[in-house]
């Protein structure tokens, strides 16, 4: 019996060898770069000194966490993080869904491919290049938008967008939606491609128009992927805004640009407050995990769909 089971397992392994060759390098990579570094979280409970090293540095208990809750800048930073995260979700989902549904209705295959290609290309542009593009568009001195509006007489003086603190949130949300809209639409289009065409044909026979078919056939089929992406988006709220703040923040808009992840960077890499930055990062990870569990449970209760 034991030999039969062993032979069966070997046959199964032989059939799945290709999948194993794909998954094991990823698992090893994840273990080395994601799990092993978790040992460094101990410095959140220490007064870490670079020369002394992790284990020789003195313990200070929960002092770093007390400093976190007493930090003068923390309320504003939390507001920026939550504000940018929620605005991105509230704006991106309707935009992506609308774009996907309209693109799905396009009958010209060539035009559809061109629109898809153009829309998801910004996803592959780094935020460093995106910052250059946004600067060339919204710069007050020689930006394309400001110069155009001045020439046609809609404004009397150059727009001050990049250095206006109240314009930072709209700028970040706009650029994030623009950058990821086409790439996000691929997920929804993949689900739509799997919908049974007979459902649409039956609806046409019953007299349902395009918008009725979208609402009563396409949208219900997208509930699963919407739930999954929403859970991941909500759990990622504590980590939003770092790259945008790194490239687009300045001395004027930093009050609106400073997010939790950027604050971790400035404390850890610029001010060398390694223990304090690690404490903030640990809290962020706990909050993200909690948000994922709560959002998943809520999604399962309301729609029956969830991440797990």
- Looking at residue 106, which CATH number applies to its domain? 1.10.3720.10
CA–CA gap between residue 6 and residue 12 (Å, rounded): 10
pLDDT at residue 307 is higher than 80: no
Higher-pLDDT residue of 244 and 196 is: 244
Which segment of 99-108, 146-155, 292-301 scores lowest on mean pLDDT?
A: 146-155
What is the Cβ-side half-sphere exposure of residue 15, based on CA atoms within 13 angstroms? 6
Mean pLDDT, residues 243-264 taken together:
93
How do residues 146-180 score in pLDDT, each as one tens digit? 888 888 887 777 778 888 888 999 999 999 999 99
Residue 26, in any domain of the structure = no
- Containing domain of residue 185, as a range? 44-303
Residue 126, in any domain of the structure = yes
Residue 291, in any domain of the structure = yes
CA–CA gap between residue 198 and residue 201 (Å, rounded): 5
Burial environment of residue 305 by CB neighbours within 10 A (0 to 12, 13 to 18, 19 or more): middle
* pTM as predicted: 0.85
How do residues 28-47 score in pLDDT, each as one tens digit? 999 999 889 888 899 999 99
Question: What does the pLDDT read at residue 1?
Answer: 47
Please give the share of the chain, as a percent, with pLDDT higher than 70: 98
Most confident of 8-12, 97-101, 200-204: 97-101
Query: Residue 14: which H helix or E strand, with range?
Result: helix 2-15
How do residues 46-82 score in pLDDT, each as one tens digit? 999 888 888 889 999 899 999 998 999 999 999 999 9
Residue 296, in any domain of the structure = yes
Which segment of 7-16, 239-248, 287-296 scores lowest on mean pLDDT?
A: 7-16
How do residues 187-226 score in pLDDT, each as one tens digit? 898 888 888 888 888 888 888 888 888 888 888 888 888 8
The answer to whether the beta carbons of residues 302 and 226 sit under 8 Å apart is no
CA–CA gap between residue 152 and residue 147 (Å, rounded): 9
Return the sign of the alpha-carbon dihedral for residues 97, 98, 103, 107: positive
Which residues are CB-neighbours of 268 under 8 A, at least 6 positions away?
274, 276, 277, 278
Angle between the N-to-C axes of helices 2-15 and 17-30, in degrees from 0 to 180, rounded to the nearest 10: 80
CA–CA gap between residue 61 and residue 21 (Å, rounded): 44
Which residues are CB-neighbours of 42 under 8 A, at least 6 positions away?
54
Mean pLDDT, residues 243-263 taken together:
93
110-113: long-range contacts at Cβ-Cβ below 8 A with a sequence spacing of 24 or more?
Answer: none
pLDDT at residue 89 is higher than 90: yes
Number of domains present in the structure of the chain: 1
* pLDDT confidence band for 2 (50 / 70 / 90): low
Mean pLDDT, residues 132-143 taken together:
85
Residue 22, in any domain of the structure = no
Residue 6, in any domain of the structure = no
CA–CA gap between residue 67 and residue 152 (Å, rounded): 53
Residue 153, in any domain of the structure = yes
Residue 261, in any domain of the structure = yes
How do residues 223-234 score in pLDDT, each as one tens digit? 888 888 999 999
pLDDT at residue 110 is higher than 50: yes
Question: What does the pLDDT read at residue 4?
Answer: 61
Mean pLDDT, residues 137-149 taken together:
82
Residue position matching structure tokens 């404490």: 279
Measured distance between the N- and C-terminal CA atoms of the chain, rounded to whole angstroms? 35
Mean pLDDT, residues 89-94 taken together:
93
pLDDT at residue 138 is higher than 80: yes
**Partners of residue 201 on adjacent β-strands:** none
* DSSP letter for each residue of 62-128: THHHHHHHT-TTHHHHHHHHHHHHHHHHHHHHHHHHHHHHHHHT---HHHHHHHHHHHHGGGGS-HH
Q: Smallest Cα–Cα separation from 280: which of 77, 59, 53, 86?
A: 77
């Amino acid at each position: 019996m034991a030999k039969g089971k062993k032979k069966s397992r070997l046959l199964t392994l032989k059939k799945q060898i290709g999948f194993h060759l794909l998954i094991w390098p990823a698992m090893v990579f994840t273990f080395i770069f994601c799990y092993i570094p978790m040992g460094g979280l101990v410095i959140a409970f220490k007064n870490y000194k670079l020369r002394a090293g992790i284990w020789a540095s003195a313990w200070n208990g929960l002092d770093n966490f007390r400093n976190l809750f007493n930090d003068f800048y923390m309320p504003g930073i939390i507001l920026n993080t939550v504000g940018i995260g929620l605005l991105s979700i509230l704006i991106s989902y309707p935009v992506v869904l609308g774009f996907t549904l309209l693109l799905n209705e396009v009958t010209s295959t060539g035009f559809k491919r061109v629109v898809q290609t153009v829309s998801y290309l910004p996803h592959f542009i780094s935020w460093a290049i995106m910052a250059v593009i946004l600067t060339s568009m919204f710069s007050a001195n020689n930006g394309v938008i400001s110069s155009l509006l001045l020439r046609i007489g809609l404004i009397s003086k150059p727009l001050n967008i990049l250095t206006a603190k109240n314009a930072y949130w709209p700028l970040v949300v706009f650029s994030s939606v623009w950058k990821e809209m086409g790439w996000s639409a691929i997920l929804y289009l993949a689900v739509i491609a799997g919908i049974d065409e007979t459902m649409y044909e039956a609806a046409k026979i019953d007299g349902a128009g395009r918008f009725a078919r979208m609402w009563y056939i396409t949208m219900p089929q997208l509930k699963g992927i919407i739930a999954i992406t929403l859970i991941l988006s909500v759990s990622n709220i504590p980590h939003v805004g770092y790259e945008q703040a790194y490239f687009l923040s300045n001395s004027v808009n930093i009050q609106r640009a400073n997010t939790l992840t950027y604050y971790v960077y400035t404390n850890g890499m610029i001010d060398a407050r390694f223990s304090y930055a690690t404490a903030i990062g640990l809290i962020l990870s706990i909050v993200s995990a909690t948000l994922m569990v709560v959002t998943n449970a809520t999604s399962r209760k309301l729609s029956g769909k969830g991440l797990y």
